[in-house]
Amino acid sequence: MSAEFERQMKKLAGDGPAERQILLLKLQYEFENSPNFGNRYVGDASSPAQLWIARIGALLSRVSLEHKIQFRTQVGTSVQFWVISMDGLRRALSAAIEEIKLELELDGRDDIGQVYAAGKEYDFFTDLRGIFASAENELFLVDAYFDGASFEAYFSAVSRDLSIRILCGSYARDIAAYIDKFSLQTGAKIEIRKTKLVHDRVVFLDGSDCWLVGASIKDAGKKPTYLIPLAPQISPQKLSIYEGVWSSAVSISLKA
């Protein structure tokens, strides 16, 4: 499989530059924070070593099929050749990091995050819609001025089995009208709550990935804005803050 073909397949699957940037951040974090493996095989599934192996396995499988196969090969020899296998996994992690860096450089997206000048509405829409579509289990959106038209535009690409939470403000009732129709057609689980306590625009994916949005999503692109992924070690703190706001916000009833 050629590198160009694989890159095109990733784009078709919704794994565009924005998603590759946050994947890069996670790979770098795991590389820099790998545990002490010791000199003997560690079989305890709850040990730092085995938890690390599980995390990088999931990440490397997102990079490419080749990296997924290499990972399985290294893990398959870990019982007999623990030290060599762990060194091999770190080398595989380093190679994946450099591969994604090169991909992003070729796409002109080697700087983490993206800045959009006024009038770049379509570029912003494409990137953020791709981020939404990359969620596998849960999407938690925080935006005081998110509205119904934005819901229709951005959520049409998400998985039908997704759990969706929207924490908003002024346009909560407007969004609810769109959610009623969407829920009836797709069966998606959606909750919406209203609060006056949010100012930031934040997107959380699957309880881990976090993206900061410069302007309100409904106006993004009309005015200068940005999309920036938070580092993995910071995202849980950010999520904890907004979980607290969510718990005290007013629930908006849906007809569906």
Q: Are residues 94 and 157 in the same domain?
A: no
Where the chain has pLDDT below 50, the residues are 1-14, 256
Q: Are residues 160 and 242 in the same domain?
A: yes
Query: What is the per-residue pLDDT for 110?
Result: 62
| Phi and psi torsions of 242, nearest 5° | -80, -20
Query: What is the per-residue pLDDT for 135?
Result: 87
Rounded Cα–Cα distance for residues 139 and 2 (Å): 33
Q: Which two tokens stand for residue 194?
A: 């209203």
Query: What is the per-residue pLDDT for 6?
Result: 44
Q: Are residues 49 and 133 in the same domain?
A: no
Burial of 240 (0-12, 13-18, 19+ CB in 10 A): exposed
Q: Are residues 46 and 140 in the same domain?
A: no
Rounded Cα–Cα distance for residues 136 and 133 (Å): 8
Q: Are residues 139 and 214 in the same domain?
A: yes
Using an 8 Å Cβ cutoff, are 178 and 148 in contact?
A: yes
Alpha helices per DSSP H over the chain: 3-12, 17-32, 48-63, 65-76, 82-106, 121-133, 148-155, 172-186, 235-248
Q: Are residues 118 and 93 in the same domain?
A: no
Q: Is residue 229 in a domain? A: yes
Chain position carrying tokens 């796409």: 107
Q: Is residue 201 in a domain? A: yes
Adjacent-strand bridge partners of 115: 226
Q: Are residues 79 and 27 in the same domain?
A: yes
Question: The whole model's pTM is what?
Answer: 0.70
Q: Which two tokens stand for residue 122?
A: 């379509």
By residue range, what is the domain housing residue 204?
114-251
Query: What is the per-residue pLDDT for 204?
Result: 95
Q: Is residue 138 in a domain? A: yes
Q: Are residues 100 and 119 in the same domain?
A: no
Q: Is residue 256 in a domain? A: no
The total number of structural domains in the chain stands at 2
Q: Are residues 170 and 194 in the same domain?
A: yes
Q: 75: closest CA among 55, 104, 96?
A: 55
Q: 157: closest CA among 137, 176, 174, 134?
A: 134
Query: What is the per-residue pLDDT for 112?
Result: 62
Using an 8 Å Cβ cutoff, are 132 and 139 in contact?
A: yes
Q: Are residues 102 and 147 in the same domain?
A: no
Rounded Cα–Cα distance for residues 8 and 3 (Å): 9
- Where a domain ends, among 50, 83, 106? 106
Q: Is residue 124 in a domain? A: yes
Rounded Cα–Cα distance for residues 52 and 126 (Å): 33
pLDDT in tens, 152-193: 889 887 877 789 999 999 898 889 888 877 877 777 788 999
Q: Are residues 153 and 26 in the same domain?
A: no
Using an 8 Å Cβ cutoff, are 176 and 251 in contact?
A: no
CATH number at residue 134: 3.30.870.10
Q: Are strands 225-229 and 209-213 parallel, antiparallel or unpaired?
A: antiparallel
- Where a domain ends, among 51, 71, 106? 106
Q: Which two tokens stand for residue 213?
A: 């949005």
pLDDT in tens, 185-209: 777 788 999 999 988 899 999 988 8
- Where a domain ends, among 49, 81, 106? 106
Q: Is residue 169 in a domain? A: yes
Q: Are strands 189-194 and 250-251 parallel, antiparallel or unpaired?
A: antiparallel
Q: Are residues 84 and 56 in the same domain?
A: yes
